[in-house]
Amino acid sequence: MKNILIAASILSANFAYLGKEIEDVLKAGADLIHFDVMDNYYVPNLTIGPLVLKSLRNYGIKCIIDVHLMTKKVDDLIIKFAKAGANIITLHPENSYHLDRSISLIRKYGCKAGIVLNPSTPLCCFDYIINKLDIITIMSVNPGFEKQIFLNFIYDKIIKIKKIIKKKKILLEIDGGINIDNIKKVAIAGADILVIGSAIFKSSFSYEQTLQTMKLKLNNISKN
């Protein structure tokens, strides 16, 4: 049976009550927390840094935190986020001057390492580092903002990458535009982790009702 995880993206959470929001969404059934880091250079948005992550750890958040670096400079942030309590750190390959070194740096500081592919990023970008990766994230929207629509051509990209990593211990994460209506199709294509933000935090139903509905769809997949 396939175990598919849901990573709640706090980009869509209420930042005035961030600690409680994370506690509530984890209690409702989210498996891990996705931490979107944007610098207003690589993407046209500005979000949060390592001090926020550290404060959440101090608050008592103990779950796995997946840090997604959407920043022009990554190596300094890798160290700072690792020290702040990140468990997974992913980066866009075009933002590292030396990708192999950046991936090695993530692992050196005790975190799982991964790369993130934008919708138009070719698969050849990980040809020579694939054996150092723990996770590959496919963006199913262009990064920067919440509430975007899932790009349909990404389904083929998921299938292609899943075939490449099938015999390797690499998790495949899909990020962007996932909701109640398409979660099953995305999972069937080959996802191991689904990053979901507004479909959880901006749902008209409670977190528990929303996540239970999503998990029911995923459980049905795993039994097929």
Q: Is 175 designated active site? A: yes
E strands in the chain = 5-9, 32-38, 65-70, 88-91, 112-117, 135-139, 171-175, 193-196
Angle formed by the axes of helices 18-28 and 207-222, nearest 10°: 40
User: Which entry of 24, 36, 134, 181 is annotated as an active-site residue?
Assistant: 36
Catalytic residue among 39, 175, 181, 192: 175
Q: How many CA atoms lie within 13 A of 215 on its CB side?
A: 15
For residue 36, indicate whether it is catalytic.
Answer: yes
User: Are 9 and 196 in contact, with CB atoms under 8 Å apart?
Assistant: yes
Report, as residue numbers or ranges, the catalytic residues.
36, 175
